[in-house]
Amino acid sequence: MIAIIDYGMGNLRSVEKGFQKVGADARVVTDPKAIDDADGVVLPGVGAFKDCMRNLSDLNLTDAVLKAIRKGKPFLGICLGLQVLFSESEEFGTCKGLDIFKGKVLRFPHNELKVPHMGWNSINIKNRPPILDGVPDRGYVYFVHSFYVEPEDKGIVAATTDYGLEFTSMVWKDNIFATQFHPEKSQSLGLKILKGFGDFVKKA
């Protein structure tokens, strides 16, 4: 079973429906034990970094997330679920993240491009993770975000996207996969990614 963590922020139902469409057993959970018992874990999210960290703490989910990652359980972070894996964010002042990866979450610079970055854009695959099997380089996926991650270790960058600058749109290290874009909103290509994660969980 894949646990989709409900901490009060995120498009949970569409993520769950996406996994169901590709035949994966995924369920929305709020209980740390359900996360511990799951074969794979998904942390989706939209909204503010600080609110996410506070909600995870208030619901006693932070330790369950860290434990799952450290045990080597397949993990997928989506949008805000990618950003909180990093050390800190500059959103509304400095806020500490889970610090799984060293690096910062930065706001897009003020220029002629609209912020938030919203809509379809392509991904440049730099280091193909197993969950991108069958996904073409330069394939289009759906984004909604005003902040992007800047990893210290460039070796974890799986894909980048161009929007005024080349930013990290996907990371991968061992059992951890995380996307700045929304697979559940990215139609057939996004479903391939969700299926890829589901298949990875089965093999783990």
Q: Which residues are catalytic?
A: 79, 182, 184
Residue that is written with structure tokens 């450290």 in the block: 70
At residue 32, the 3 state secondary structure works out as helix
Q: Is the pTM of this model over 0.95?
A: yes
Instruction: Say if residue 110's pLDDT is above 80.
Output: yes
Query: Contact, 9 vs 59, CB < 8 A?
Result: no
Which pair of structure tokens corresponds to residue 95?
């806020």
Distance CA 117, CA 140 (A): 14
27-85, pLDDT tens digit by residue? Answer: 999 999 999 999 999 999 888 999 999 999 999 999 999 999 999 999 999 999 999 99
Average pLDDT over residues 166-177: 98
Cis peptide preceding 129, ω within 30 of 0: no
Cα–Cα separations (whole angstroms), residue 67 to 15, 35, 63 = 22, 9, 6
Q: What's the whole-number average pLDDT of the chain?
A: 95
CATH topology assigned to domain 2-203: Rossmann fold (3.40.50)
Nearest to 178 by CA among 82, 44, 94: 82
pLDDT in tens, 75-107: 999 999 999 999 999 987 889 999 999 999 999
